[in-house]
Structure 1
Amino acid sequence: MNILITGAGGQLGRDLIRVLSKKHKLIAKTRKELDITNEQSVREAVLKCRPDVIVHAAAYTQVDLAESRMEEAYMVNSFGSRNIALMANEMGAKLVYVSTDYVFDGTKGAAYNELDRTNPISVYGHSKLHGEKFVQLICDKYFIVRTSWLYGKYGSNFVTKVLANAQQHSELSMVADQFGSPTYTYDLARFIEQVIESERYGIYHASNRGMCSRYEFAEEILRIAGHSAVRLNPVTADSFPLPAARPVRSDFDDKAIRYNGFPRLRMWRDALQSFILEDLNIDSERIQTDEIMNETDKEELGNG
C-alpha cells in the first residue's frame, strides 16, 4: 500500500518507518516537512501522494506546556487532526489516529476498555479527545489507536532518562502511586501494520499488557540493565508537582484487539527486555551519555 505517515520524526514515527517500509511504499513527513495545522499544506501533500492509508502520528505531546499553551495544543491535536481526517475521507484512505490514555481521568479503579466513558483532566487529554471526535465525525474508515507510556529506540523517554540518571546518581526517587501500561513503540508499530491491512475499523487500546507504577517500571529498567547498585525510593506524585494533572491509573484492557482476532501485544516486561537488550544493546556496551538532566527532565522522570 501507499502510506503517508505524519510525525515521522518522532519515536513512533521512526519505528513505523522501520516496520512498514518492509512491505509498503512510504511517504514519511516530519513536523517540519508538513504543518498539519495548515489546511492547504495538508491538502497539497495528500493530493500529491494519494495514499491508501494515512497514519497520523503527529501530535503536540508536551503535556505540561499544553496547560499554558492551550491554543497551540488544540491547533495541532484537534484542528490538525481535522485537516488530516478531511483529506483521508476525500481520498477514501484508511486513517489511523494515534491517541492516548490521557483521555481518561484514571478514577475507574480497573483497566480501561474501549467502551469506557472518556473524561480527560488535562489540556493535552482534551485536545487529543477532540481529535478523536473529528476523526469519528468525518471519516468512514478509521482506526483510533489509544496507547500509553511510550518508549522506543529513537529519542528521549522514561527508559533512557532512568538509565542516564542511573549513571550519574546512586539514588533515585520514583512515583509509586500512578499506574499505567508501558508501551514499546516497535510493538505498537507492528500492531498498526496489522490493523491497516484489515478493515476492522474502530477504537483500539494498544499497549503492552500488564500494569505497573512508575516506581515498578524504573525498578525493572534498572534490573534488566544491571544497575543493581542504584537505590530506588518510592514517593508520591505530590513529590513532583507538575502543571498538568495525570490519571492515577490508566492501564488498558485490549478488548477490541481480542474481539477482532488480532494478536495481543506482549507483556510489558518482555517488551522492555527486548528494547534494552536489543535496541539499546546494553549487554555488550553500557549506555554512554553526557546528557546533563535539567530540572524539567527530573520532573518528567518522576511523574511521566
Structure 2
Amino acid sequence: MRIAVTGKHGQVVQSLLRRGAETGVEINTVGRPEMDLSDPASVAAAFSALRPDVIVSAAAYTAVDKAESEAELAFSVNAAGAGAVAEAAARIGVPVIHISTDYVFSGDKASAYCEEDATAPISVYGRSKLAGEKAVAAANPNHVILRTAWVYSPFGANFMKTMLRLSETRDLLRVVADQRGCPTSALDIADAILAIATRIVADPAPSLRGTFHLTGTGEASWADFAEAIFAELSKSGGRNVGVERIPTADYPTPAKRPANSRLNGEKLAGTYGLRLPEWKKSMTIVMQDLLNKGL
C-alpha cells in the first residue's frame, strides 16, 4: 500500500514515517516546495504524480494562539487547503483521511463528546478546523475525518516535551487543572491510520466513511498529565518536580481552550474494532523513547 501524507515535520507525519519503516508500508510525504496548500493546482499535480492508494491530510496551521491574529492564514491552510487535498484525492479516485481536533467543540458538555454532538468552536483555530472538516466532506464523499486531542510524541513540539524541558531547571511548575481531555500518542494515531487505510482501500462500505473520534483511552487534566510525566521521570532517575494545580483563569491565553476536550471513541471501536491504549501506558512508551535519546 502506498500512502501520501501532507506535511513533512508534524507529529503524525513523523509517526507515520516511523511506522511505515517498521511495517513496510510506503509513506510519501508531500509539502513545500513541491506542494503549496494555498494553490489547488499544485496540490492536484503533486498527488497525480504520486498515484497513492490513500491520502492522509495531516498538514495544518496549529499555532492556536497566533491564529487569533492570523485568521486568514489559518483558514487558508486548515479549510481551503484541506478541501484542496480532499478534492485532489477525489480526482484520482482514492480515499482521504483527514486529521481534525477536539477544538471544534465548545467544551461546555459535562461528558465526553460524541461525533453527532453539535460543534461550536470558541477559537479561530477551532473554527478553521471545523471549516476544514466541512470542505473535506463536500469535496470527497470517500473520506474519514479523525478528530483527536492532546497529541504528544517523540517528535516536534508538544506538552510532554515542554514539561521535560522545563523540568531541567524548575522544581515546581504551575499547570492548569480545570481543563480535561484525552492525552493521545501520535504513534498510536499512526497505527490507527494504517489500520483504517487498509480497510477503506479494500472495502467501499459507506459505514467505514465519515467522522470518528480517535484519542487515548482514559482522561486527565493537564496537571494530571504533568504529574504522570514527572512520576515517570523520577522513576527513571530524573529530577523530582512538583506540580501546582491552577485554574485556567490564572493562565490567560489569546485563544480560549475547551474546558472539556474528552472525545468518546465508541463509534470507532464499533466500526473498526480500534481502541487506543490507556494513555498512561502510551505515555510511558514515549517517555522512554525520549529519555533514551536524551530528550
TM-score (norm 2): 0.93
Q: Secondary structure at the match of 2:264?
A: coil
| 1:206 paired residue number | 214
Structure 1 residue 44: deviation in Å? 1.1
Structure 1 residue 9: deviation in Å? 1.5
Q: Kindly tell me: are residues 216 and 31 of structure 1, through their superposed partners in 2, closer, same or farther at Cα, counting changes over 3 Å?
A: farther
Q: Is 1:257 matched up with 2:258?
A: no
Bigger mean CA deviation after superposition, 31-40 or 47-56: 31-40
Instruction: State whether residues 194 and 262 of structure 1, in contact with CA within 8 Å, keep that contact through their aligned partners in structure 2.
Output: no
RMSD of equivalent CA atoms: 1.4
Q: Distance in 2 between matches of 1:192 and 1:285?
A: 26
| 1:16 paired residue number | 16
Q: Distance in 1 between matches of 2:174 and 2:131?
A: 35
Query: What aligned pairs does 1:228-239 form with structure 2 within 5 A after superposition?
Result: 229-239=240-250
Q: Distance in 2 between matches of 1:90 and 1:115?
A: 28
Instruction: State whether residues 168 and 239 of structure 2, in contact with CA within 8 Å, keep that contact through their aligned partners in structure 1.
Output: no
Q: Distance in 2 between matches of 1:15 and 1:26?
A: 11
| 1:152 paired residue number | 153
Q: Distance in 2 between matches of 1:95 and 1:61?
A: 20
Q: Kindly tell me: are residues 70 and 189 of structure 1, through their superposed partners in 2, closer, same or farther at Cα, counting changes over 3 Å?
A: same
| 2:224 paired residue number | 216
Structure 1 residue 32: deviation in Å? 4.3
| 1:130 paired residue number | 131
| 1:48 paired residue number | 49
Instruction: State whether residues 268 and 274 of structure 2, in contact with CA within 8 Å, keep that contact through their aligned partners in structure 1.
Output: yes
Structure 1 residue 27: deviation in Å? 1.9
Give, as a single letter, the amino acid of the residue that structure 2 aligns with 1:45. Answer: A
Structure 1 residue 245: deviation in Å? 0.5
> What is the CA deviation profile of residues 259-284 of structure 1, one whole-angstrom value per residue up to 9, with x for unaligned ones?
2142310011111011112x21x2x6
Q: Distance in 2 between matches of 1:99 and 1:270?
A: 24
Query: What aligned pairs does 1:85-96 form with structure 2 within 5 A after superposition?
Result: 85-96=86-97
Instruction: State whether residues 16 and 27 of structure 2, in contact with CA within 8 Å, keep that contact through their aligned partners in structure 1.
Output: no
Give, as a single letter, the amino acid of the residue that structure 1 aligns with 2:19. Answer: V
Q: Kindly tell me: are residues 133 and 23 of structure 1, through their superposed partners in 2, closer, same or farther at Cα, counting changes over 3 Å?
A: same
Structure 1 residue 138: deviation in Å? 1.6
Q: Distance in 1 between matches of 2:8 and 2:143?
A: 19
Instruction: State whether residues 3 and 52 of structure 2, in contact with CA within 8 Å, keep that contact through their aligned partners in structure 1.
Output: yes
| 2:162 paired residue number | 161
Structure 1 residue 31: deviation in Å? 4.3
Give, as a single letter, the amino acid of the residue that structure 1 aligns with 2:81. Answer: G
Q: Secondary structure at the match of 1:203?
A: strand
Q: Distance in 1 between matches of 2:228 and 2:253?
A: 25
Instruction: State whether residues 145 and 203 of structure 1, in contact with CA within 8 Å, keep that contact through their aligned partners in structure 2.
Output: yes
Structure 1 residue 228: deviation in Å? 6.1
> What is the CA deviation profile of residues 78-113 of structure 1, one whole-angstrom value per residue up to 9, with x for unaligned ones?
000111111111111110000000000001110111
Q: Secondary structure at the match of 2:111?
A: coil
Q: Distance in 2 between matches of 1:95 and 1:17?
A: 17
| 1:298 paired residue number | none
Q: Secondary structure at the match of 2:224?
A: helix
Q: Distance in 2 between matches of 1:33 and 1:238?
A: 43
Structure 1 residue 140: deviation in Å? 2.0
Give, as a single letter, the amino acid of the residue that structure 2 aligns with 1:20. Answer: G
Give, as a single letter, the amino acid of the residue that structure 2 aligns with 1:42. Answer: V
| 1:142 paired residue number | 143
Q: Secondary structure at the match of 2:28?
A: strand
TM-score (norm 1): 0.90
Q: Is 1:247 matched up with 2:255?
A: no
Structure 1 residue 229: deviation in Å? 2.6
| 1:294 paired residue number | none
Q: Secondary structure at the match of 1:198?
A: helix
Q: Distance in 2 between matches of 1:30 and 1:154?
A: 18
Q: Secondary structure at the match of 2:131?
A: helix
Give, as a single letter, the amino acid of the residue that structure 1 aligns with 2:92. Answer: M
Unaligned runs of at least 5 residues, structure 2 = 201-207
Structure 1 residue 20: deviation in Å? 2.7
Q: Is 1:112 matched up with 2:123?
A: no
Unaligned runs of at least 5 residues, structure 1 = 288-304
Bigger mean CA deviation after superposition, 111-120 or 228-237: 228-237
Q: Secondary structure at the match of 1:54?
A: strand
Instruction: State whether residues 144 and 204 of structure 1, in contact with CA within 8 Å, keep that contact through their aligned partners in structure 2.
Output: yes
